[in-house]
Chains A and B, each alone.
Chain A
Amino acid sequence: MKKEFIALLREILGAPAVTDDETELLVYECDALTLFKNKPDVVVFPQTAEQVARIVRLANEYAVPFVPRGAGTGLSGGAVAMEGGIVIELQRMNRILSIDPDNRIAVVQPGVVNLHISQAAAPYGLYYAPDPSSQMACTIGGNVAENAGGPHCLKYGMTTNHILAIEAVTAAGQIVRLGNPAGELVGMDLVGTIVGSEGTFVIVTEITLRLLPKPRAVKTLLAAFHSIEECSQSVSDVIAAGIVPSALEFVDAKTIEAVEASVYKAGYPMDAAAALLIEVDGFHEGLEETSTAIVEICRRNRSYDVRVAKDDDERARLWMGRKGAFGAMGRISPDMIVMDAVIPRTRLPEVLTEIARLSERYNLPVANVFHAGDGNIHPLILFDSRYQDQVDRIFGMSEEIMKLCVGVGGSLSGEHGIGYEKKDFMDLVFNESDLEVMMRVKRVFNPNGLLNPSKVFPSRRGCTEVGRQTTTSTAEIGKRVDEVLRGAAH
């Protein structure tokens, strides 16, 4: 990268907001998906939309790729500069600009941590509903890019159901405002189209979002089962009873093992094949009955231990176990990859059986955490990255799991996004025509492709290329990882 380019960046932002120091750049070579790494050439830390716009215009002038980044907690490589260039780190844009409790709206900058929004809204009896498990660290800008979910999106919806309006810097460096504070669709839902576009359409610099009143009452239950089928049947029966839980989370034995060995220890049943964490919320009136109905359903399906949390502390502990589950894996394995596929919820038992078989065949342990209410499955593949053969096996196994999930009517990603990780599997679910239309829409926003390149779309695909991707793509990925691990970045 030209020295003069970096000098120009320093002119725009001031030296403390620009770094091209080799050591510092290492921090930005990957996000929470550590398998795919590439160092950017420079990282910048803007504090205003105008600064972001100037960076983008400069990047366009010099044809340098640029990638927006929040906290780097993403699990699909979405914030990694796979083609080098600039990482635009938005964490310094971290102010909550306003809270309007009467209209239940907050206006925030993209670098605000998800949980901080709810904390700021709490004195008004309000909160921000989408709660990804990384909410103590992830930023709302990242949430918007990925259309993040979380356990409570079962009842309250995903990020896209809570974003009312945005300010953004376009890929050409213009600042635009879209949407309205009422969140009403006027003409076309450009805001809704941008949410979940994984930082490939625009760089969001301000977000107007919806706050909800905190539920007046909550009941959290934990049910333990000796069989996955019985656990899964309980989920189906809860749905069939017309109950709308606010969360319905499944953890398997391996997950429980890790959690109970970790600081997130929650008193999960150690001898269970599977456990369900169920939450219902709303008015006090009727909640007891709903909770009792759930207990009965679980018992009817032979749950041997159903607990209802007595107080907020117990609730918090039960949730800590679930939300800490990914981190807890560190107790039983040096490395892991988190998969994120979706299936129709009714197909869970057969999918889990097949994943267990794949685990044996590939000789890689798998722990399963599952948003049972909406079919979003997170197989956690445990491995040791010091052993190349294990790394190689992951790609084969994860591809088979993805094909399995797609085969039962599911899709590639429930909440983590396609990013770099899953882009070569897009044609498991979309054909040439589908991808061509998506590419067209992307080009309206990002015509020269400099904004966050190498994401979402399959690698060797031009807009006219025809034909199905073959499984050689897995080997291709493996080769690329090889190169990167062997220090091709230098």
Chain B
Amino acid sequence: MTIDGLSVSKVLRPESVEELTEALSAETGAIVPLGSGTQTYFGNPLRRADCAADLTRLSRITEYNPADLTVHVQAGVKLGQLEHALLENNQFLPMDPWNGPMATIGGITAADAQGPLRATGTIRDWIIGMKVVHAGGQVSRTGGRVVKNVTGYDLARLYTGSLGTLAIIVEISLKLRAKFPKTATAVARLDGIGEAGMLIASIRKSALQPISLEWVGNPNEVWVRFGEHPKAVEWQLKNLPPADWTISEAEEEAAAWEKLRERYAALGPVLVRVIGLPGTIHEIIEEYRPTAWMAHAANGIVLMTVPGIGVIQRIRSRYRAVIEKAPVEVRREVSTFGLTDTEYELMSKMKQTFDPEGRLNPGRHVDGERN
């Protein structure tokens, strides 16, 4: 296997946390934690890879308490596997990351993988506890097993999004939600950015509360999804601002979002996540005129293709921008996160304290930001 052009010669496939800690204590050199590998392209370029720790065999759902709305999983459990297990109690983890049901919970957490479902937050809003393995094999836990807990520091927040560069996530406890009683999606195609922008603005000012609000281009489309009591869904559909809406429900709806996922996957080769505000995405799209984009309109985030490095620098003079996807050559020239000096300093100290020898995914996170 290769990641960022580096070939990984040795792959550990532990079947238990104990196996992993033993292996780590024995290994020297750089370790690359791995889930399903759906996002190995994300991050600053990997500098060194002596050994990969494939966690997909840590795939047990160790405990599920429907009455408590909690589930405890090993990091290698796939999202689709989890969804299936929760179905019979009509519960779910409100995540629909673009990288799909094959992504592992550990991977989704380490990469802070996201999708168009944003009204229920992101993965960090659903994690209630974690167990991690440190570079030398030490094991530690944070949080707990209950949905509400302020006991000790919330280190799960630190590990989330850190790309396995602080510690390797091996177990995650999550809180769950009842499935939306009903969902429905309305899609409208618009002639131009101006029209689409105005439609989005009027939806945002209205009483509608979409669970997803996506502005996609080109061609310009507005996707609105509702998830609520059936009567409330019906009411919201009826009260959409006027446009040529196509409404879909059930299987048709699921198929439509699947198509959108495919469109996301085709975005590239350089895809940037621009962080603005709901009120500024229109001007972001106007200003940079990307050839293709997907915006989480209620959150102020625009995922857009850019032709090259120069545009990224330009964007970063005005907005935070994370490189969502890019060939390693590009990522060698531009930092993935665009950290401020404060962030760089603090995060470097964090990295230093957790992984002083720089063994975990070296170069992929803060330690690759300033080269």
Which A residues are in CB contact (< 8 Å) with B322?
186
Q: Are A415 and B150 in contact (CB under 8 A)?
A: yes
Q: Are B67 and A185 in contact (CB under 8 A)?
A: no
Q: Chain B, 29-69, contact with A by CB distance < 8 Å: what is the 0/1 string? A: 00000000000000000000000000000000000011111
Cα of A6 to Cα of B369 in the assembled complex, Å:
43
Q: Are A434 and B149 in contact (CB under 8 A)?
A: no
Cα of A345 to Cα of B69 in the assembled complex, Å:
9
Task: Please judge, given known A-B contacts A240-B66, A433-B140, whether A189 and B179 are in contact too, CB under 8 Å.
Answer: no
Cα of A188 to Cα of B369 in the assembled complex, Å:
13
Q: Give which listed residue, B229, B231, B353, contacts A443 with CB less than 8 A.
A: B353
Q: Are A441 and B158 in contact (CB under 8 A)?
A: yes
Q: Are A188 and B152 in contact (CB under 8 A)?
A: no
Q: Are A192 and B157 in contact (CB under 8 A)?
A: yes
Task: Please judge, given known A-B contacts A433-B139, A444-B350, whether A187 and B161 are in contact too, CB under 8 Å.
Answer: yes
Task: Please judge, given known A-B contacts A182-B275, A185-B160, whether A197 and B153 are in contact too, CB under 8 Å.
Answer: yes
Q: Chain B, 17-31, contact with A by CB distance < 8 Å: what is the 0/1 string? A: 000000000000000
Which B residues are in CB contact (< 8 Å) with A181?
277, 300
Chain B CB within 8 A of A102 CB = yes
Chain B CB within 8 A of A27 CB = no
Q: Are B150 and A414 in contact (CB under 8 A)?
A: yes
Q: Are A182 and B301 in contact (CB under 8 A)?
A: yes
Cα of A183 to Cα of B340 in the assembled complex, Å:
15
Chain B CB within 8 A of A157 CB = yes
Q: Are B230 and A441 in contact (CB under 8 A)?
A: no
Which A residues are in CB contact (< 8 Å) with B68?
344-346, 375
Task: Say which one of A172-180, A252-260, A323-331, A352-360 lies at the interface with B.
Answer: A172-180
Cα of A435 to Cα of B141 in the assembled complex, Å:
9
Which A residues are in CB contact (< 8 Å) with B179?
242
Q: Are A239 and B67 in contact (CB under 8 A)?
A: yes
Looking across the interface, which residue of chain A has its beta carbon closest to that of B142? A434
Chain A CB within 8 A of B236 CB = yes
Number of inter-chain CB pairs below 8 Å: 239
Chain A CB within 8 A of B14 CB = no
Task: Say which one of B74-82, B120-128, B189-197 lies at the interface with A.
Answer: B120-128
Chain B CB within 8 A of A424 CB = no
Interchain nearest-CB distance for A285 vs B (Å): 4
Which A residues are in CB contact (< 8 Å) with B349?
444
Q: Are A437 and B140 in contact (CB under 8 A)?
A: yes
Q: Chain A, 431-454, contact with B by CB distance < 8 Å: what is the 0/1 string? A: 101111110111110000000000
Q: Give which listed residue, A177, A412, A426, contacts B342 with CB less than 8 A.
A: A177
Which B residues are in CB contact (< 8 Å) with A376?
148
Task: Please judge, given known A-B contacts A158-B148, A176-B342, A375-B68, whether A186 and B154 are in contact too, CB under 8 Å.
Answer: no
Interchain nearest-CB distance for B36 vs A (Å): 21
Identify which of residues 191-211 in chain A touch chain B, using a CB-to-CB cut-off of 8 Å. 192-193, 195-197
Q: Are A182 and B149 in contact (CB under 8 A)?
A: no
Cα of A374 to Cα of B144 in the assembled complex, Å:
13
Looking across the interface, which residue of chain B has its beta carbon closest to that of A201? B153
Chain B CB within 8 A of A283 CB = yes
Q: Give which listed residue, A104, A146, A415, A456, contacts B148 with CB less than 8 A.
A: A415
Q: Chain B, 82-101, contact with A by CB distance < 8 Å: what is the 0/1 string? A: 00000001100000000000
Which A residues are in CB contact (< 8 Å) with B139?
433
Task: Please judge, given known A-B contacts A244-B177, A344-B70, A429-B151, whether A441 and B350 are in contact too, CB under 8 Å.
Answer: yes
Chain A CB within 8 A of B228 CB = yes
Q: Are A216 and B90 in contact (CB under 8 A)?
A: no
Chain A CB within 8 A of B256 CB = no
Q: Are B147 and A374 in contact (CB under 8 A)?
A: yes
Which A residues are in CB contact (< 8 Å) with B366?
187-188
Which A residues are in CB contact (< 8 Å) with B342?
176-178
Q: Are A193 and B158 in contact (CB under 8 A)?
A: yes
Q: Are B229 and A444 in contact (CB under 8 A)?
A: no
Chain B CB within 8 A of A286 CB = yes
Interchain nearest-CB distance for B227 vs A (Å): 11
Cα of A146 to Cα of B276 in the assembled complex, Å:
29
Which A residues are in CB contact (< 8 Å) with B161?
185, 187-189
Q: Give which listed residue, A193, A343, A433, contacts B154 with CB less than 8 A.
A: A193
Q: Are A289 and B229 in contact (CB under 8 A)?
A: yes
Which B residues are in CB contact (< 8 Å) with A433?
138-140
Q: Chain A, 202-243, contact with B by CB distance < 8 Å: what is the 0/1 string? A: 000000000001001000000000000000000010011011
Which A residues are in CB contact (< 8 Å) with B339?
186-187
Q: Are B232 and A286 in contact (CB under 8 A)?
A: yes
Q: Give which listed residue, B65, B147, B155, B337, contacts A186 with CB less than 8 A.
A: B337
Identify which of residues 98-155 in chain A touch chain B, using a CB-to-CB cut-off of 8 Å. 100, 102-105, 146-147, 149, 153
7 nearest A-B pairs in the assembled complex, by CB-CB distance: A286-B229, A192-B157, A242-B178, A286-B231, A283-B232, A285-B231, A374-B148
18 further A-B contacts with Cβ under 8 Å, apart from A286-B231, A345-B68, are: A100-B279, A102-B279, A160-B157, A176-B342, A182-B276, A185-B160, A187-B369, A190-B158, A239-B69, A244-B178, A282-B232, A286-B228, A343-B146, A375-B148, A410-B145, A413-B149, A418-B151, A440-B354
Name A's B-contacting residues (CB within 8 A).
Answer: 100, 102-105, 146-147, 149, 153, 157-158, 160-161, 176-178, 180-182, 184-190, 192-193, 195-197, 213, 216, 236, 239-240, 242-244, 282-287, 289-290, 342-346, 371, 374-376, 409-418, 422, 426, 429-431, 433-438, 440-444, 456
Name B's A-contacting residues (CB within 8 A).
Answer: 65-70, 89-90, 112, 121-122, 124-125, 134, 138-142, 144-155, 157-158, 160-162, 166, 177-179, 181, 204-205, 207, 209, 228-232, 234-236, 273, 275-279, 299-301, 320, 322, 337-340, 342-343, 346-347, 349-350, 353-354, 365-366, 369
List 9 contacting pairs A-B, 8 Å CB cutoff, sorted by A: A186-B320, A187-B337, A188-B158, A192-B124, A240-B67, A243-B178, A282-B232, A410-B146, A429-B144
